[in-house]
Amino acid sequence: MPRFIALLLVSAVASLPAQSTGARTYANPIDIEYKYNWEQFNQGISYRSGADPVVVNHRGEYFLFVTVAGGYWHSTDLINWRFVTPSRWPFEDNVAPAAISFGDTLLLMQSATAPRPILFSVAPATGRMEFYNRMLPVVPLAVREGSERQGELVHPDSIQPGPWDPALFRDDDGRWYLYWGSSNVYPLYGIELDPARRLAYKQGARPAKLLGLHPGEHGWERFGQDHRDTIRPYVEGAWMTKNGGRYYLQYGAPGTEYNVYANGTYVGESPLGPFTYAPYNPVAYKPGGFVTGAGHGSTFNDNHGNYWNTGTPWIGVNWNFERRIAMFPTGFDADGHMFASTRFGDFPHFIPVKKWQHPDELFTGWMLLSYKKPVMASSARDSFPGSNVTDENPRTFWVARDTAPGQTLTLDLGGEREVRALQVNYADYKSNVFATDSTVYTQLRAHASRDGRQWSLIADISGERRDRPNAYMELPAPVRARFIRWEHVHVAAANLAVSDIRVFGSAGGRPPATPDRLTARRDADPRNAIVSWRPVPGAVGYNVRWGIAPAKLYQTYQVWADSGTRAEIRALTVGQEYWFAIEAFNESGVSKVSAPVRVVP
């Protein structure tokens, strides 16, 4: 989560109902107007970002709140999101907010280290917000800010200033609770609130220390890229979900600025515990692929009774805390084990129209057709070639000579393919945009051709007036094409930069064979496992899948085939048994998953 707060001015605007596009699918990162929010260390560089997402299902409609956006988003279908500018807003904008729906009321609470109000709305789609209480006091402190030494507490009874990274929970019996915490020193806390006193802290209640990190035992809680840094990790992003009579206290770790940012859970029999570490942790984890990072979010129900978990993928070009928003199908198995499905988590998925039995039902089967394909650019600056837009890396990008309309990128898919969807991901190269007004918008067209000579228009958002830095466009019908051409119309930034153009569909051939000769062994450090397999001809990539039982392979690490056939999984818990399996994928589909192999503690 960010360590700074930006001042934004907001004003009330008239609101219109969210418009449906007829689309059935979405792809991560979700397609919203990620806001330009603050200058990078006063160096004149700005960036779009969204982080710490809270989605609330309020009376059958969805509201998304993120860090520093000057407002929030409204959707009726989880596909089309409309930005809402509120009539009233927290004093320094929201950072890692809490939100909750009860009855006809939606409550919104910002992170704070000084007294701040809680807002409420009975008509959040209109943007009308009012004060629920004027000033919620901060939690009583035994130590003041700045009294930490060498990463240790001055006194074991000290409490972090807060509530920072808050989460609100209302139990079935009508009792209210607050959870919070964001630190690599302090734990997560919880306290009961008093609804009769406008959610003031219950008289006589003291914050309860609920959980902290144990990276020496839990490999996924280690800091750094692929958990390779020795910095003390951060625990943050509390969230509470009740399911089957159990209380799942969720948390984000080890740090937002890496590919391994994830959500885990402890489970208890009461809202304030005691809580027990879940052996199947982490519950939401996506260290590989285009979208990496799944930590610090929320868990919510859709209108069909399906769970979703949101998180914060990492970009980190202009600043370490440049991020996006993702959501993943989530569930609880027959044993009460919580899991979020991140398998192909950045490929197109269906939005469910009923309760699903298995999250794989939501995967469209539209495969990535653009990986490492040749690209012809109308112009390019040195060190920013067109080939960067097909490397599936959001931290590399193409930069055009200028921002004049008509710049193009043409992808050769290598043969005729059935194209079903496109995703155009823009980058902020030396960006100088700090406004969030109507001058910031994205316009483009996309064309397709079978022979490179005759072209047809397949997507057109040249008439839109909203910003779409991760524009996902599901085609109304499949298109046969070998060449895909993106055409620039408008961006607000000083430079025209695109990180990736992702094309989804099918090559129409056979899926690859199942990888064989799978081996998995525990490293000398039992938090790590080394997995290897024999290469599969024609594979584009592999999914290493693992979990604590053969039928619980809930974790996925995506590996590109040109990166080799070996993966080091550094997310294991000491003393826990695991099972590993492997599947291959290409432009036509996915192999059957291999037989799982056991890895002893």
Predicted pLDDT at 40: 61
Q: How is residue 495 written in tokens?
A: 């430079």
Short-list 476, 536, 534, 544, CA closest to 23: 476
State the pLDDT at residue 113.
Answer: 83
DSSP 25-94: EE-SSP-S-PEE---STTSS---EE--S-EEEEETTEEEEE-SS-SSEEEESSSS--EEE--SS--TT--
Query: Which amino acid is present at 144?
Result: R
Rounded to two decimals, the pTM is 0.93
Mind listing the domains of the chain with CATH numbers? 36-145+160-333 (2.115.10.20), 368-506 (2.60.120.260), 519-599 (2.60.40.10)
- Percentage of the chain exceeding pLDDT 90: 83
What pLDDT, on the 0 to 100 scale, is given for residue 21? 61
d(CA 97, CA 163): 10
> Could you read off the pLDDT of 484-502 as tens digits, one per residue?
999 999 999 899 999 999 9
Residues 6+ apart with CB under 8 A from 357: none
Residue 432: pLDDT band (50, 70, 90) is confident
Evaluate the CA torsion angle 411, 414, 415, 421 in order and state its sign.
negative
Model pLDDT for residues 249-262, shown as the tens digit of each residue: 999 999 999 999 99
Distance CA 359, CA 343 (A): 9
Q: What is the pLDDT of residue 456?
A: 98
- Write out the two tokens for 27: 């792809």
Dist. CA 424–CA 472, nearest whole Å = 7
533 vs 201, residue with greater confidence: 533
Q: What is the 3-state secondary structure (H, E, C) of 273-293?
A: CCEEECCCCCCECCCCCCCCC
Q: Which of 16-25, 136-145, 211-220, 408-417 has the lowest mean pLDDT?
A: 136-145
Chain mean pLDDT for the chain:
92
Measuring CA to CA, how many Å separate 309 from each of 53, 240, 533?
10, 12, 31
What's the CA gap between 253 and 400, in Å, rounded? Answer: 37
Spatial distance between the Cα atoms of 315 and 49, rounded to a whole number of angstroms = 9
**Mean pLDDT in residue range 300-310:** 98
Give first-to-last CA distance, the chain, whole Å: 34
Q: What is the CA radius of gyration of the chain?
A: 24
Q: pLDDT band for position 162 (50/70/90)?
A: confident
Can you tell me the mean pLDDT for 422-444? 90
